[in-house]
Structure 1
Amino acid sequence: MTMNVGNLRTLVLNADMQPLSWAPLSVWNWKDAFVAVHQDRVLQIKTYEDILVHSVNETYEVPSVVALKRYRKRKRVAFTRYNLFVRDQFTCQYCGERFCSKDLTFDHVIPRSRGGTASWTNIVASCQYDNLRKANHTPREAGMKLIRPPFEPSPYELDGLARSLARAEDQLHQTWMDYLYWGSELES
């Protein structure tokens, strides 16, 4: 089958056959996964059905799922916009409403002008309205309460939170499904 393979992605599993990370979901460009398979750095677990790539002399299957040969333990979670929104479940930590990422901002619980840092323990997701309302005050001074105090999540905690978020099914290839929902209840 001739198909544009340019946008295909490969799910990357740790050696325990769980996704390397859920936040964001661990995927590689198929070309990087293909090279890693052929350099014997990862195991090819599944391939895209009926999708082949050709060299001058050979035809190859395109990996859809690969697994690392050695278990890789994540020690810390990167402090990024996406990870912070996952930690806070895309929910304003003042009003409790859920928003898409484009409608969320960061709020420094202790304002930067008062020595507040850009860190896991001082920044929360906030809607624009509440961020403007709080302005350059502490939540207490602004008469606002945090739903939950900010904290630095472990990789395990963030993965658990990311797993609970709804995902667009069209972003997940069918060959990935057996590896993404190990913790889900079986349908009756």
Structure 2
Amino acid sequence: MSSKVLVLNQDYSAFNICSVPKAFLLVYLNKAELVTQAEDQFLRSISQCYFYPVVIRLHKYVHRPYKGVVMTRQNIFKRDRSTCQYCGAKDHLTLDHVIPKSKGGKSNWDNLVTACQRCNAQKGDLSPEESGMSLKQSPFKPTFLMFIRDFSGSSNENWLPYLGAR
């Protein structure tokens, strides 16, 4: 049961991703309804068989004042697909400030990238232009829907109508 379930708010907007046991509990306690279930999987108890949730919708609207992606080390790694943005390596990863902090660079989505230790040390306290290194992609702040759809690692084709086209 390691797959994830898309949770929709009452207005069918994407709200969150949760585990299958948590989604089942929300449906069982009548706090949510099943919108889409897996065709070939079921949850079984000793005496009953239940649908395996893929998308659920909350019965009550939950107001979320900040609907963005929190900037964390793990989320930057997810955005950059755990790949060094200079050489493409996947091992010994760390974070790099594109514009170094000593030169006024901030710790934000638009200035942090995933880098391997070798490239980070080679770049040092220089900008990519000064060090002769180029980024594979420019850093950016992902939207909430983009993050769920493209970077959560557990996207399901049944989620796409609620997350928008790529």
With the length of structure 2 as denominator, give the TM-score of the two structures. 0.67
CA distance in 2, matches of 1:78, 1:108: 18
Return closer, same or farther for 1:180/1:156 CA change in 2, 3 Å cut-off. Answer: closer
Alignment of 1:9-158 (within 5 A): 9-14=3-8, 20=15, 26-30=17-21, 32-44=22-34, 45-46=36-37, 49=41, 51-53=43-45, 59=48, 61=50, 63-69=52-58, 70=61, 75-95=67-87, 97=88, 99-100=89-90, 102-158=91-147
CA distance in 1, matches of 2:20, 2:56: 14
CA distance in 2, matches of 1:149, 1:49: 40
Are the counterparts in 1 of residues 55 and 159 from structure 2 also a CA contact under 8 Å?
no
Determine helix, strand or coil for the equivalent of 1:121: coil
Determine helix, strand or coil for the equivalent of 2:132: coil
For residue 122 of structure 2, what is the amino acid of its counterpart?
Answer: R
CA drift at 1:29: 4.7
Return closer, same or farther for 1:119/1:75 CA change in 2, 3 Å cut-off. Answer: same
With the length of structure 1 as denominator, give the TM-score of the two structures. 0.61
CA drift at 1:132: 1.1
Unaligned runs of 5+ residues in structure 2 are: none
Return closer, same or farther for 1:71/1:121 CA change in 2, 3 Å cut-off. Answer: same
For residue 88 of structure 1, what is the amino acid of its counterpart?
Answer: D
Are the counterparts in 2 of residues 108 and 116 from structure 1 also a CA contact under 8 Å?
yes
CA distance in 1, matches of 2:127, 2:156: 44
| Identical positions, percent | 29
CA drift at 1:28: 1.5
Aligned length: 157
